[in-house]
């Protein structure tokens, strides 16, 4: 599976969706992790940290989006040229999750 980590598009965002320590675990489990150049800088992780953890670094966001089996980002990515549409549901409210129960939406909880 190809897991893509994007650089956050909001200037004041200091978080990153995946830290190098977690990259090691995902790569060890047989996944391929691709990280957009500079994705971890604001959180204190360099591109070298990600490479040492087993990730590949790329500056081509459009290509990354096309390769994604799983896309990880804190905030919704800005509009891109690709045909991939990504929507995020930010909620911990079960009532909202139940409303989507019979749709084709998929949910997972990060705890």
Structural domains counted in the chain: 1
Q: What is the mean pLDDT of the chain?
A: 79
> 34: closest CA among 84, 8, 72, 74?
72
Q: What pLDDT, on the 0 to 100 scale, is given for residue 70?
A: 84
87 or 52, which is more confident? 52
55 or 76, which is more confident? 55
Which CATH number does the domain housing residue 73 bear?
Answer: 3.40.50.720
Instruction: List the domain range (segments joined by +) for residue 37.
Output: 2-79
CA distance 40 to 36: 9
In a domain, 109, yes or no: no
In a domain, 19, yes or no: yes
Helix (H), strand (E) at residue 99: helix 94-99
> What are the tens digits of pLDDT across the range 26-75?
999 999 999 999 999 999 999 999 999 999 999 998 888 888 888 888 87
In a domain, 108, yes or no: no
In a domain, 89, yes or no: no
Q: What pTM value is reported for the model?
A: 0.71
């Amino acid at each position: 599976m190809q897991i893509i980590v994007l650089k956050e598009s909001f200037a004041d965002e200091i978080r990153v969706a995946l830290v190098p320590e977690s990259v090691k675990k995902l790569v060890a489990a047989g996944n391929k992790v691709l990280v957009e150049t500079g994705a971890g800088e604001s959180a204190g992780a360099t591109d070298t940290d990600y490479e040492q953890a087993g990730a590949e670094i790329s500056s081509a966001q459009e290509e990354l989006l096309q390769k994604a089996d799983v896309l990880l980002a804190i905030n919704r990515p800005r509009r891109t040229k690709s045909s991939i549409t990504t929507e995020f549901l930010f909620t911990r409210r079960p009532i909202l999750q139940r409303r989507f129960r019979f749709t084709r939406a998929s949910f997972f909880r990060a705890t």
